[in-house]
Amino acid sequence: MKIRIGILGYGNLGRGIECAIKQNDDMELAGVFTRRDPSTVKIMTDGVKVYSVDEAVKMKDEIDVMILCGGSATDLPKQTPEYVKYFNVIDSFDTHAKIPEHFENVNNSAKESGKIGIISVGWDPGMFSLNRLYANAILPDGKDYTFWGKGVSQGHSDAIRRVEGVKNAKQYTVPVENALKAVRSGENPELSTREKHTRECYVVAEEGADKARIEQEIKSMPNYFADYDTTVNFITEEELNKNHSGIPHGGFVIRCGKTGQNGENNHIIEYSLKLDSNPEFTSSVLIAYARAAYRLNKEGNSGCKTVFDIAPAYLCRQSGEELRKNLL
Amino acid sequence: MKIRIGILGYGNLGRGIECAIKQNDDMELAGVFTRRDPSTVKIMTDGVKVYSVDEAVKMKDEIDVMILCGGSATDLPKQTPEYVKYFNVIDSFDTHAKIPEHFENVNNSAKESGKIGIISVGWDPGMFSLNRLYANAILPDGKDYTFWGKGVSQGHSDAIRRVEGVKNAKQYTVPVENALKAVRSGENPELSTREKHTRECYVVAEEGADKARIEQEIKSMPNYFADYDTTVNFITEEELNKNHSGIPHGGFVIRCGKTGQNGENNHIIEYSLKLDSNPEFTSSVLIAYARAAYRLNKEGNSGCKTVFDIAPAYLCRQSGEELRKNLL
């Protein structure tokens, strides 16, 4: 019997989950749940229905794992503790500062319902966190660096779009090559915000808008751009659609550490991602952890978990024997 | 109370463990066990004794985790199943083809004794295996690549030393930059052995030896060199000691995979290590897993485990709360 997956929220992430399910033949899509009018939502999988989110709870016995594809700002803080009362759930909650609180809320609900809730799954938090943890455990005397990009920041693109006279915009976060080089050399540099990343903006201005003023407003925007070297490129809507319609992302987690009698030996652990599609990759991570949630719950476990709490073998279809033979 | 670590076998790896313990203040060295005459073995830690290996079992209540630092060819296949009868043990067994058999042997002994035995810990097998597993779980439609180096291969250095007229030698395995580049571009190249790595040899010839013959013999040696582009550099013993006395290593695990409705998006996951000291880094991994072995056993678990079976949080000193707050 296949693992029956529900998707709650059908945006970029929901669509990514739908694609990922097709790559894992121990899983099947059991239903998509939306806050929109279900008749207006068209999905890619034949024979699978779109439901109103209000019908989700009624289907609790037909879904093994519900993947919550809402946003971290307002959706997930409510949805995850709520839906874990009825389902094993996975979310990609990524507001780092609020993870402890979110964990407690989900854990309380999950302990009561006997379900598993895995939170903050994706690549950061997620795979990047795992790599920080492993590298810290191995090299206690060291220093961590995380770089993001080159990739599209939705938040920064949105911020530009709010500037008067801007019709559309896309912002790329770009790691500074020389900073990466310094880190990899084992010099343990202290890097300021400005030294680590630059910001590249592609902006479509409204007709007759004052471009110099727009550029100035973007570059001086506090938190988003003021602390960075920012470049603003004005392009046409056509160019934006042609060259900047993807959602690539990625980044680097690097730890440099010392070992030896007197710390005489240096070691560099580096993990990097280069992703054509941020939401599809995140979805692929979520699906692997959905398998883990299903199995852990089958074994009688409940409560809130993160990627730190889950033995890697739970993510894989293969048996322990196959994994040892083929991947160890 | 600290975790009391025993070291069985005091070579490069054993010394590395001794250094690593000093970096982890929840651990202490409880004793070093050697097959040599203990009075001839000088260790770095004040107040800790060197014992004959024959005394190990008598100390089973004074050691929480015994780290087995023997070789994979003949030591560990016997030692690990034997010592797990008395101790939680960790080894770095690295004969890939024999891991299933080793696992069974250790598991049988460990289940009986109620101890934990973690096998094949290090970087390959070990951290590289983990990264292969995570990347495979996330991107089922993809291709794996593992490159080793630049680093010293002990086995290949030994093979050169067995050539007549060779006084001393060091061999470096070097990944081919263009092969790495092709893999990272997402081209999914098919790479032959020769295309992936080259072999660089630094050889000290005996006085009057026929260098042309030595070079020819090395380059044509089956399994070790014949399938590779090999360069042989003759140097003096002084140069060898000055420039080639380290034991660096490292490598790359790369998985390229596709997602999307029609596999239209490419993703590249890369993990790499650049290590000044292969045995010290391996030791650092072993020590992190020693912590896991101790904790798992405290919780009542027994049997043989690999890195695949151990939830990452077990490797860290910090509580789940601290990890979520600081590393997630």
Task: Tell me the sheet residues that pair with A273.
Answer: A251, B269
Quote the ipTM score.
Answer: 0.97
Residue from A308, A310, A315 whose CB has the most chain B CBs within 10 Å, to mutate = A308
pLDDT of residue A278: 97
Pairing of strands A265-275, B265-275: antiparallel
Does any CB of chain B come closer than 8 Å to the CB of residue A133?
A: yes
- State the DSSP string of B111-152: HHHT-EEE-S-SBTTBHHHHHHHHHHHH-SSEEEEEEE-SEE
How remote is the C-alpha of B129 from its chain's centroid? Answer: 11
Residues near A86 by beta carbon (within 8 Å), at least 6 away in sequence: A56, A57, A60, A66, A113, A115
Q: pLDDT band for B319, please (50, 70, 90 cuts).
A: very high
A92 in contact with B at a CB cutoff of 8 Å? no
Place of tokens 């550029």: A215
Element (H, E) at B280: helix B278-298
pTM: 0.97
For residue B244, pLDDT beyond 90: yes
Return d(Cα B164, Cα B162) in angstroms, integer.
6
Contact A218, A225 (CB under 8 A): yes
Q: Looking at the predicted structure, is the pLDDT value of residue B45 above 90?
A: yes
Q: Do A134 and B315 touch (CB under 8 A)?
A: yes
pLDDT of residue B228: 97
Q: What percent of chain A has pLDDT over 90?
A: 99
Q: Which of B16, B140, B311 sits opposite A311 (nearest CB)?
A: B311
Contact B48/A at CB under 8 A = no
Give the 3-state secondary structure of residue B3.
strand
Token pair, residue A62, equals 């037909």
* Cβ neighbours for B250, distance < 8 A, ≥ 6 positions apart: B148, B149, B150, B151, B272, B273, B274, B275
Residues of A in contact with B313 (CB under 8 A): 133, 308-309
**CA-based nearest residue in chain A for residue B145:** A327
C-alpha span between A22 and B255 (Å, rounded): 19
Contact present, A230 and A221 (Cβ < 8 Å): no
Cα distances from A139 to residues A133, B64, B276, B321, in angstroms, run: 10, 22, 13, 20
Structure tokens at A291: 């398998």
Cα angle at A116 between A114 and A117, to 5 degrees? 130
Q: Residues A179-209: pLDDT tens digits? A: 999 999 988 999 999 999 999 999 999 999 9
Q: What is the pLDDT of residues A43-78, one digit of tens each?
A: 999 999 999 999 999 999 999 999 999 999 999 999
Q: Which two tokens stand for residue B231?
A: 């360069």
Chain A residues within 8 A of B125 when measuring between CB atoms: 328
β partners of residue B119: none
Q: Cβ–Cβ of B260/A281 closer than 8 Å?
A: no
How are strands ordered across the β-sheet holding B303-305? B50-52, B27-34, B3-8, B65-68, B88-91, B116-118, B303-305
CA–CA separation, B293 and B116 (whole Å): 6
Question: Which of B268, B281, B309 shows the shortest C-beta gap to A313?
Answer: B309
pLDDT at position B49 over 90: yes
Contacts 24+ apart (CB under 8 A), A158-163: A159/A221, A159/A224, A159/A225, A160/A201, A160/A203, A160/A218, A163/A214, A163/A217, A163/A218, A163/A221
Question: Which tens digit of pLDDT belongs to each residue from B123-150?
Answer: 999 999 999 999 999 999 999 999 999 9
First to last CA, chain A: 28
d(CA B237, CA A89): 63
DSSP assignments along A16-66, one per residue: HHHHHHHT-TTEEEEEEEESS-GGG---SSTT--EEEGGGTGGGTTT-SEE
pLDDT tens digits along B71-106: 999 999 999 999 999 999 999 999 999 999 999 999
Q: Do A270 and B267 touch (CB under 8 A)?
A: no
Is residue B29 classed as helix, strand or coil in its secondary structure? Answer: strand
Q: Are B118 and B89 in contact (CB under 8 A)?
A: yes
A285, A306, A327 ranked by CB distance to B324: nearest: A306
B150-181 confidence digits (pLDDT tens): 999 999 999 999 999 999 999 999 999 999 99
β-bridge mates for residue A275, sequence order: A249, B267
Q: Find, among A153, A169, A173, A163, the residue nearest to A234 by Cα.
A: A169
Mean pLDDT (chain B, rounded):
97
pLDDT digits (tens, 9 = 90+) for B195-226: 999 999 999 999 999 999 999 999 999 999 99
Whether A229 contacts A199, CB under 8 Å: yes
Q: Under an 8 A CB cutoff, do B137 and A288 touch?
A: yes
Query: Cis omega (within 30 of 0) on the bond before A248?
Result: no
Model confidence at A25, pLDDT cuts 50, 70, 90, reads very high
Describe the crossing of helices B99-113 and B75-83 by its angle, rounded to 10 degrees: 20
> Is A308 in the B-facing interface, judged by CB distances under 8 Å?
yes
Say if A275 is an interface residue toward chain B (CB within 8 Å): yes
For chain A, say whether B13 makes contact (Cβ under 8 Å): no
Which whole number is the average pLDDT over A83-89?
Answer: 98
pLDDT of residue A132: 98
Which of A:50-89 have CB within 8 Å of B? none
- The pLDDT tens digits for A121-156 are 999 999 999 999 999 999 999 999 999 999 999 999
Greatest CA separation found in chain B? Answer: 68
Residue B187 has pLDDT above 90, yes or no: no
pLDDT in the model for residue B306: 98
